[in-house]
């Protein structure tokens, strides 16, 4: 009898937790909360879009070292920046390309084969770009093309 009560109690608590998370009672709501009654986006959504600008990084082709049997990486990305710093980051693009090219060339070939490689590489590249451009200028690095041949 106590085992059955324990299982039923766990199911009730689990169902209640699911409902609370799914309905937005815990940890806020989903994207559906950002629309007004007329179905139009609210002002907070519009202000978020106005505070973002993207600076494209020119496509890069990087040879992956002598032990990689003539393999290449084709890489392209965008930098998410604050609109106030868009011009400054664009002027620093040669330095950004240099630091990304140097880093990707130094990465061992085995690193590219790992399932979590893209996450690790993205974090490392973002940190290096932030060091080159200055703190708080680049918010994120969005990888748009990452192809090994």
Tokens of 71: 């393999």
Q: In this predicted structure, what is the pLDDT of residue 79? A: 96
Q: Which residues contact 142 (CB under 8 A, 6 or more apart)?
A: 54, 77, 78, 79, 80
pLDDT per residue as tens digits for the range 126-144? 999 999 999 889 999 999 9
Q: In this predicted structure, what is the pLDDT of residue 146? A: 93
Closest CA relative to residue 118, chosen from 107, 134, 129, 128? 107
Q: In this predicted structure, what is the pLDDT of residue 81? A: 95
In CATH, the number for domain 51-148 is: 3.30.479.30
Instruction: For 17-40, give one letter per residue: b (16+ CB within 10 A) or e.
Output: eeeeeeeeeeeeeeeeeeeeeeee
Give the chain's mean pLDDT: 84
pTM above 0.85, yes or no: no
- Whether residue 31 is predicted with pLDDT greater than 60 in this model: the reply is no
* Length of the chain, in residues: 149
Q: In this predicted structure, what is the pLDDT of residue 44? A: 52
Give 116: exposed, middle or buried? Use CB within 10 Å, 0-12, 13-18, 19+: exposed
Closest CA relative to residue 83, chosen from 51, 57, 126? 51
Domain spans of the chain, in order of start: 2-46, 51-148
- Whether residue 105 is predicted with pLDDT greater than 60 in this model: the reply is yes
Half-sphere exposure for 74 (CA within 13 Å, toward CB)? 5
């Amino acid at each position: 009898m106590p085992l059955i009560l324990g299982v039923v109690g766990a199911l009730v608590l689990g169902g209640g937790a699911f409902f609370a998370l799914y309905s937005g009672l815990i940890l806020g709501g989903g994207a559906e909360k950002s629309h007004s009654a007329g179905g139009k986006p609210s002002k907070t959504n519009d202000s978020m879009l106005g505070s973002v600008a993207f600076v494209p990084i020119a496509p890069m082709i990087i040879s992956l070292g002598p032990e990689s049997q003539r393999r290449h990486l084709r890489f392209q990305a965008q930098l998410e920046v604050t609109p106030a710093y868009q011009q400054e980051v664009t002027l620093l693009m040669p330095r950004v390309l240099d630091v990304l090219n140097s880093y990707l060339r130094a990465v061992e070939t085995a690193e590219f084969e790992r399932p979590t490689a893209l996450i690790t590489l993205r974090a490392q590249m973002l940190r290096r770009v932030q060091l080159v451009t200055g703190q708080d200028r680049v918010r994120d690095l969005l990888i748009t093309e990452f192809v090994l041949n």
